[in-house]
Amino acid sequence: MVLAELGNKLSAALQKMQAVTVVSEEVIDRMLGEVARALLEADVNVKIVGELRKAIKTRLNFEEEAAGTNRRKTIQRAFVEELSKMLDPGTKAYDMKKSKSNVVMFVGLQGAGKTTTIAKFAHHYQRKGWKCCMVCADTFRAGAYDQLRQNATKLRCPFYGSFSEADPVKIAEEGVRQFRREKYEVIIVDTSGRHRQESALFDEMQEIRAAVEPDDVVFVLDATQGQSVGDQAKAFHEAVDIGSVVVTKLDGHAKGGGALSAVAATGAPVVFLGSGEHFDDFEPFNPRSFVSRLLGMGDMRGLVEQIKDTVDNKDQMDKFAKGTFTLRDMYEQFENVMKLGPLNKVMAMIPGIPQLVGEDQGGNRLKRFMYMMDSMTDDELDGRVDLDKCPSRLDRVARGSGTHPVEVHMLLKCHKQFERVVSKMGKSGLMKGGDANMA
Ligand code: GDP
């Protein structure tokens, strides 16, 4: 998990509230103090931390008025919502369209991780079944062409570039024209990075932009620079009107919190996080999902979003849209999601699991869930009997799968949560497409 250390500190601060009998003013102040310290240690700007602290406090005072509210729950909600706001610029990034050629131009300073990110980006969309290709319009850095071509070959991704042509605008134009003709769905254009922001770089970007008319301009920046990336993001945003941002090198880096909150403050939406040198070290970024996972609360919406991407069976989608979601559906979806990405990332999305087993064993837990479902009858899987109400059946499932009845309970609880989210999304029409980022 990106920023695991920050997450541990924040959830520890929240946990302490569960342990006390009375959530007094003093307890809240202490918790907010701990939260502020953890955020400052993660390099979040002191002003942003102060505002966050104030916002949580104001909300609590205000919501306290509502009689009968559960104080712990209110605090937790305020906490998640205000932290998410801190990471949310309030602008929407470009949404890739299946029906056309989406041209995505990548920009960034040299060394930020642009070439690596392009490969990860292509890999991400390829896994979801999109036809991707790459164009190398970086004629400035020796070796850029080879590096990109090597990645493209590994990914079996068509590639356009030239050893001899020195004009990046010509290359970009010709490459994009060719791939549009061949009906590629995601056409990725790499551009030159420079050592620092300079007008020649911006001019070149403008020219390429005018030549290829991209649907999205993605700015890649390096999180290890902490808060200072805010200035960089602002300069790029003003010069080339970037559509989205990828923040790289977040793997275990203490300054990640600073980078993420600083970018959000510029109004540029972060769409992916890079957390390593491998193609898989890449995850979509959504402020609310990120915060939920950071605090070990799971991310059912993220999981449902992944499912939406993998379900290509229309009948099944219609069924989900009506809010029906059985244990058998969950089993099939776990299978799908396992194909999508490293298990620990998937596990971090399921509430309750990250805290229970730790990330390394998360994959085992998912497998054990599947063994339990393997031991169920059709009636149980299809929801014709309610296992929760039949202890003898529950014991049988546990015995058959070599697990403990408590674990079967946990599976049923997980299914209930899943079912609730699917049903909520189904009823609001979100299962049929559109934004799943509902409140
Ligand atoms: P470019 O000059 O912007 O194209 O940068 P590169 O893609 O060549 O990356 C520069 C260096 O950063 C390389 O050594 C990459 O392996 C490394 N890198 C890129 N992304 C990440 C990341 O998310 N985490 C880590 N740890 N290293 C990364």
User: Is residue 115 lining ligand 1, measured as CB closer than 6 Å?
Assistant: yes
CA of 117 to the centre of ligand 1 (A): 8
State in Å: Cα 229 to ligand 1 middle: 16
Residue 111 Cβ inside 6 Å of ligand 1? The answer reads yes
Residue written as token pair 């342990």: 19
Probe target for ligand 1 pocket from 192, 236, 277, with the most ligand atoms within 8 Å of CB: 277
Query: Residues 42-73: pLDDT tens digits?
Result: 888 898 899 988 888 888 776 555 545 677 77
Q: Would the CB of 253 count as within 6 Å of ligand 1?
A: no
Q: Are strands 282-284 and 270-274 parallel, antiparallel or unpaired?
A: antiparallel
Q: Sheet of 244-248: strands edge to edge? A: 159-160, 132-137, 186-191, 102-108, 216-222, 244-248, 270-274, 282-284
CA distances from 168 to 149, 184, 254 (A): 16, 21, 37
Q: Is the CB of 108 under 6 A from ligand 1?
A: yes
* Count of helices and strands (H, E) across the chain: 20, 8
CATH tag for 102-286 (out of 1.10.3860.10, 3.40.50.1100, 3.40.50.300, 3.20.20.140)? 3.40.50.300
pLDDT tens per residue across span 247-270: 999 886 768 888 888 888 888 899
Taking 90 as the threshold, does the pLDDT of residue 146 lie above it?
Answer: no
pTM of the model: 0.76
116: CA distance to ligand 1 center in Å? 6
- Domain segments of the chain as ranges: 4-87, 102-286, 298-432
DSSP character for 228? G
Q: Which of the listed CATH numbers 1.20.120.140, 3.20.20.20, 3.30.465.10, 1.25.40.340 matches domain 4-87?
A: 1.20.120.140
ipTM, two decimals, is: 0.98
CATH of 298-432, one of 1.10.443.10, 1.10.260.30, 3.90.1150.10, 3.40.50.970: 1.10.260.30
Which residues in 298-368 belong to E strands, given as ranges? none
Q: How does pLDDT run across 158-176, given as a tens digit for each residue?
A: 999 888 888 889 999 999 9
Distances in Å between the alpha carbon of 280 and those of 101, 105, 155, 339, 362? 24, 21, 12, 12, 17
What is the tens place of the pLDDT at every residue in 208-250? 999 999 999 999 999 988 888 888 888 888 878 889 999 999 8
Which pLDDT does position 105 carry in this prediction?
Answer: 96
Answer whether 323's CB lies under 8 Å from 423's CB.
Answer: yes
Higher-pLDDT residue of 388 and 349 is 388
312-322 per-position pLDDT tens digit: 666 666 777 77
- Output the CA 248–ligand 1 centroid distance in Å: 8
Ligand 1 center from residue 222 Cα (angstroms): 9
